[in-house]
Amino acid sequence: MAPRPDNGAPLLDVQGLSAGYGGRQVVFDVDFTVGEGEIVTILGHNGAGKTTTLKSLFGLIRPLSGSATYGGRDVLGRAPADNVRGGMSFTPQEHSVFPDLSVLGNLKLGGETTKSKDVAAERLGRVYELFPILEERSDQLAGTLSGGQQRMVSLGIALMSGPRLMLLDEPSLGLAPSLVNQLMDTVRRLADDDNISVILLEQNLAAALDHADRAYIMRSGRMILEEPADTMRARGHWWDLF
């Protein structure tokens, strides 16, 4: 995937982000950007600080320092509900659906951010267009779906909020290779067709680099490298970066 042209200020500009838990710092002075309609993947081992970075941006944990300018406004430290209303979504790697609700019930919860029935119906139609199996199983309890189908529901919940920026934490985790490719193709469609920006955390390097525009490597809580995804994919091996 060729890098997108620079059309001006990025949608998201993170500078000097530091964060941690219970007084233990795990993210150190992180800088990165995400453009409009761009997929940026952050790669690294478990414990590298990737999820902490996303949680800090979304307001799930309080950052220690730094700034995050989203749509021209510094939003670091803003509450998650305000971030959702502002066009951000966060899809965690686990516990990403409500198992005792139907597929449709899950999706309707995601659409609670709009009071317009027409807008909600339009968003639901888009979700069903992307994931036809969810329409077929709209009355089925989400907890009885396969892992891949639950991941589709979790993405559908995010899309029902009408995001400009999606934060995806290892969406390929536990999925068969064929489902990984299907899921990543859908994320690429959202960027290309809907102009949705995406931060994609992944350990599946090949799948992420095949679909992203740019890639960052995170190691021990620090960003150590940023390259176009094509350039990083051409390396052929990445063991030296981790």
Residue 4's pLDDT is 44
Task: Please list the pLDDT of the chain residue by residue as tens digits (242 residues).
Answer: 433 434 578 999 999 999 999 889 999 999 999 999 999 999 998 899 999 999 999 999 999 999 999 999 999 999 999 999 999 999 998 878 999 999 999 999 999 999 999 999 999 999 999 999 999 999 999 999 999 999 999 999 999 999 999 999 999 988 888 899 999 999 999 999 999 999 999 888 999 999 999 999 999 999 999 999 999 999 877 667 77
Give the amino acid at 22: G
CA distance 54 to 198: 11
Residue 164's pLDDT is 97
Question: Could you tell me how far CA 230 lies from the centroid of its own chain?
Answer: 20
**Joined tokens for residue 84:** 């959702």
Residue 2's pLDDT is 36
How would you list the strands of the sheet with 24-34, edge to edge? 24-34, 12-21, 65-70, 73-74
Kindly report the pTM of this predicted structure: 0.93
The three-point CA angle 73-38-98 to 5° equals 80
The three-point CA angle 135-172-241 to 5° equals 160
Residue 112's pLDDT is 92
CA distance 58 to 88: 8
CA distance 108 to 157: 8
| Phi, psi torsion values for 238, nearest 5 degrees | -135, 10
Residue 241's pLDDT is 75
Spatial contact of 145 and 137, defined as CB atoms under 8 Å apart: yes
Contacts of 114 (CB under 8 A, 6+ apart): 120, 123, 162
Residue 23's pLDDT is 82
Decide the pairing of beta strands 222-228 and 73-74: unpaired
Residue 1's pLDDT is 41
**Joined tokens for residue 140:** 């089925």
What domains can be seen in the chain, in order of their start residue? 9-87+164-242 (3.40.50.300), 95-162 (no CATH)
